[in-house]
Amino acid sequence: MNEVEEKAYLKLDEFILENTIKPLVTKEIIAEHKRNPIGKHSAHLFKILNYFRRHHDHSNGKDLIICTIPHKEWCLGEHPGERNKEYIVYHDEKFDSREAAEHGLFLKRLKKHGLLDEKGGNN
């Protein structure tokens, strides 16, 4: 995407966030994800997750889960956006299962988009 395309894309992506995604975020949805971080999800949760996973079709800054100790430790991470660069590992955001890391990632993304308040509920 060049700048022209990107501008149009991001404007609409913001519209989608505000009008489609935000209204779907509820305490029940967050609880659903906590119960089942990987697997079949309700239509509303699926829509929210699809928005997060798309990450504006960018590699740069895309959230990752990085296995730091096989079968024992998973950290959240971030894509540097280019080759020949290390993936960023957030060692202070570590979990003891892949599922827990997925939920940790979900909460991180909710916060990033202003969809989770300080008390852990939704805005």
Partner 1 sequence: MAINGYTNKLSVQPGETIKFMVNSESPKYKTQITKIICGDTDPGGPGFKVEKVNANVNKSYKGRKQEIHMGSYIKVEDNTKFQDITSFSLQAMVYPTTPEKGVQALLTKWSESSNSGYGLFIDEDGSLALWIGDGDGSVEKVSTGIPLLSGCWFFVGASYDAETGEVTLYQEARITKTNGRFSNRYQAESVTTYVKEAVNSKPCTRNDAPFAMASVLKNLPNGKAAPIYQYNGKIDRPRLANTVLSKEKMEEWIDNPAGIHVVAAWDFSEEITKKGIKNIQHIYDMSSNKLHGTAINTPLRASTGYNWTSEEHRFIHAPEQYGAIHFHDDDLTDADWDVDFEWKVPEDLKSGIYAAHVYADDEDEQDYIVFFVRPKRGVKPTAKAVFIVPTASYLAYANNRFQDVPSAQLMFGRAPVVQAEDRFLGKHAEYGLSMYDHHNDGSGVAFSSSLRPILNMRPKYRHNLSPSLWQFNADLHLVDWLTEKGFDFDVITDHDLHADGAELLSQYKVALTGTHPEYYSSQMMDAVEDFQDNGGRFMYMGGNAFIWVVQFHPDNPNIMEVRKNWGNTSWKALPGEVHLSFTGEMGSLWKHRNRAPQKIGGTGYVAQGFEISSYYRRTDDSYNPDVSWIFEGVTDEKIGDFGLVGGGAAGMELDIYDTEHGTPPHATIIASSEDHSSVYVPVTEELFFNIPGLSGDEHPRVRADMVYYPTPNDGAVFSASSISYCGSLSHNNYDNNISQITENVLKRFMSDVPLNKTVASLKA
Is 1 near partner 1 (CB under 8 A)? no
Q: At its nearest, how many Å lie between partner 1 and the CB of residue 59?
A: 5
Residue 63 in contact with partner 1, rule: CB under 8 A: yes
Integer Rg of the chain from CA: 15
For 57-86, letters b (16+ CB in 10 Å) and e give eeeeebbebbeeeeeeebbbbebeeeeeee
Q: Under the criterion CB under 8 A, does residue 48 sit at the interface with partner 1?
A: no
Does the footprint of partner 1 cover residue 35 (CB under 8 A)?
no
Residue in 71, 92, 118, 119 binding partner 1, rule: CB under 8 A: 71
Least distance from partner 1 to the Cβ atom of residue 105, Å: 6
Q: Verify binding: residue 111, partner 1, rule CB under 8 A.
A: no
Beta bridge partners, 74, equal: 67, 95
DSSP H or E run through 78? strand 73-78
Q: Residues touching partner 1: how many (CB under 8 A)?
A: 35
| Cα distances (angstroms) measured from residue 14 to each of 51, 60, 71 | 11, 18, 37
- The yes or no reply on residue 66 touching partner 1 (CB under 8 A) is yes
